[in-house]
Amino acid sequence: MFVSAFTFCRNLVRMDYPFLESIRSVLPLVDEFIVVVGDSEDKTLEQIQAIKDPRIKIIETVWDMTLKKDGLIYAQQTNIALEACNPSGDWAFYIQGDEVLHEKDLPGIRTSMEKYKDNRSVLGLMMRYYHFVGDYWSLDPWAYRRALRIVRPWKVVRSVGDAVGFARTSDNLYIGKKEKDLWRFAEGRVYHYGWVKDPKLLREKVFNQVQWYWEGTPNERDQKTLSLEEYMPENYPFLKKFKGTHPEVMAKRVSDFPKMPERRSRWLNPDFYRYVLRHGFKG
């Protein structure tokens, strides 16, 4: 079984993304790793080059400013990486720069890929998620629960929208949770750390989203966020407590991260119940 991995990145050092940990967590599963590096203003490219793994193949790009809307640049960069994967391979593993795999899940992920390798009607494998917000001990159960992360290489699927998911190339059918004949679940989870940052960087993350989704024009909610020096998501005080372990590659980041003030149980927080009434109980 030949497995590729692919990702894109730009200015991830400045935004303190765990992109090096992300790459290293996937390397044990793959035969090649395509990394598309945009025109960064920090040391993102140099740090990826410093990994010095022969499986890593770097493609340098310049981001197209005409795609500065709805996150379309993310899908465009993702497709550059996907198209560079070995067309004769069996699977291509998509990972974003804030997503990490746990070493305990790697055998199960490989078993899942082996199981469906020869079933060509299966275009991809969905992975379940842990979404960490604010710190490494708080999970957001209301965030999306699954995403297609293992796909067929070469012209079978393509990244769409803001690169959260994929569509079938032949008819542009989005491969979502209802298209169950086109995908299966893979074992294991993706550990998503995009919202674990210093509150000042979380505010800059919102600023970047405004730039690449709304062409620099914030809505009322984002305007309020950008008026602050620091930002913490509104549901942080009553997120679900994480009681598991983090991937080994994240050990230093987890140990170095400042301990947040103790919060009272979410079950004793009236705001939790108000949120559940609006958004439902998700866990």
* pTM for the predicted model, two decimal places: 0.93
The mean pLDDT of 254-260, rounded to a whole number, is 90
User: 196 versus 221: which is more confidently predicted?
Assistant: 196
Q: Provide the pLDDT for residue 215.
A: 58
Q: Which sequence spans correspond to the domains of the chain?
A: 1-283
Could you give the C-alpha distances from 101 to 158, 168, 189, 252, 267, in angstroms and in order?
22, 25, 7, 15, 30
Could you give the C-alpha distances from 281 to 91, 143, 253, 273, in angstroms and in order?
35, 12, 30, 9
Using only C-alpha atoms, what is the Rg of the chain? 19
The mean pLDDT of 220-243, rounded to a whole number, is 80
CB 133 within 8 A of CB 239: yes
Q: Provide the pLDDT for residue 28.
A: 98
Q: What percent of the chain has pLDDT over 90?
A: 75
Q: Provide the pLDDT for residue 212.
A: 62
pLDDT at 53 over 70: yes
The structure tokens listed for 32 are 């090649």
pLDDT at 281 over 80: yes
- The mean predicted confidence, pLDDT, of the chain is 92
Q: Any idea which of 2-11, 136-145, 195-204, 215-224 has the lowest mean pLDDT?
A: 215-224
The structure tokens listed for 141 are 């159960």
- Kindly report, residue by residue over 111-160, the tens digit of the pLDDT: 999 999 999 999 999 999 999 999 999 999 999 999 999 999 988 999 99
User: 237 versus 231: which is more confidently predicted?
Assistant: 237
Chain center to CA of 196: 13
Nearest in space to 49 (alpha carbons), one of 73, 92, 19, 72: 19
Separation CA 30–CA 8 (nearest Å): 16
Q: Which residues pair with 157 in a beta bridge?
A: 168
| Cα angle 167-97-197, degrees, rounded to a multiple of 5 | 125
Q: Provide the pLDDT for residue 30.
A: 98
CATH architecture of 1-283: Alpha-Beta Complex (3.90)
